[in-house]
């Protein structure tokens, strides 16, 4: 799907310039009735203020649009979905399990700078495991109606090597099940399309500082508009 015009900062800059020039033209047009001129100036001022607020304050610091490039979050999110992400929310509260989060991919996940989107399933101190296609957190099986299919893989692997321990830390047994503990300052994230996702079970824990925000709503395409849970 082609980019929307408002995704392009040049388009926004040109729009602001056009509105500013229109305002100057209306202000200097001597033949215009005073009442009409006043209404036109008020409308142009409102548009200019709204655009500056949205694209210079709200969009960079509060809400930002993101594009979904892959199927790693199916069926919750599909390729070419466009979503709005709340960039401010984690300054007010800690992230919660089940949040759909956008983050800067750590080097182990991508060799080049990229933003990823996954579901937060484990917080600092949580014990996490996957057995028989089910995610366990702190010994409790998680009800996850949003995943595309049960996991084909165990986590941690049955054959746990020294390299695994270096990556994940020492195993912790809980209720007869081997688990990994999410370290301090870290999170554990998985895609909803668990068996086809470049997520935490492959590359490791996510530093809390990498979080960019929480996905809130699909706004494009129109038939898929909905809140995200």
Q: Is 123 a catalytic residue?
A: no
Structure tokens at 37: 């001129």
- Among 80, 118, 123, 184, the active-site one is 118
What's the mean per-residue pLDDT of the chain?
87
CA distance 201 to 168: 10
Residue 135 CB neighbours (<10 A): 23
Q: Is the dihedral of CA 90, 211, 178, 131 positive or negative?
A: positive
3-state helix, strand, coil in the chain (%, to 5): 35, 25, 40
**Angle between helices 34-52 and 9-28 in degrees, nearest 10:** 160
- Among 35, 72, 140, 184, the active-site one is 72
Q: pTM of the entire structure? A: 0.75
pLDDT, tens digit (0-9, with 9 covering 90-100), for 132-187? 999 999 999 999 999 999 999 999 998 899 999 999 999 999 988 999 999 999 99
C-alpha atoms less than 13 angstroms from C-alpha of 221 in its C-beta half-sphere: 6
Q: How many residues does the chain have?
A: 229
Model confidence at 56: pLDDT above 70: no
Q: Is 46 a catalytic residue?
A: no
Model confidence at 43: pLDDT above 90: no
């Amino acid at each position: 799907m082609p980019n929307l015009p408002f995704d392009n900062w040049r388009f926004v800059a040109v729009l602001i310039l056009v509105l500013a020039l229109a305002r100057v033209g209306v202000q200097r047009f001597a033949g215009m009735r005073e009442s009409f001129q006043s209404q036109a100036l008020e409308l142009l001022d409102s548009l200019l203020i709204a655009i500056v607020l949205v694209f210079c304050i709200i969009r960079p610091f509060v809400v930002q649009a993101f594009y979904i490039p892959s199927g790693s979050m199916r069926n919750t999110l599909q390729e070419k979905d466009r979503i709005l992400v709340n960039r401010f929310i984690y300054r007010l509260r800690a992230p919660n399990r089940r949040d759909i989060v956008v983050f800067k991919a750590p080097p182990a996940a991508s060799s080049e700078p990229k933003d990823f989107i996954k579901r937060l399933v484990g917080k600092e101190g949580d014990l996490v495991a996957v057995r028989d296609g089910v995610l366990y957190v702190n010994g409790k099986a998680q009800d996850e109606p949003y995943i595309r299919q049960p996991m084909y893989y165990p986590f941690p692997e049955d054959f746990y090597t020294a390299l695994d321990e270096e990556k994940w830390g020492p195993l912790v047994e809980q209720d007869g099940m081997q688990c990994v503990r999410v370290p301090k300052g870290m999170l554990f994230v998985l895609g909803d399309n668990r068996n086809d996702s470049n997520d935490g079970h492959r590359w490791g824990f996510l530093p809390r500082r990498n979080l960019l925000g929480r996905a809130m709503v699909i706004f494009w395409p129109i038939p898929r508009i909905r809140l995200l849970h």
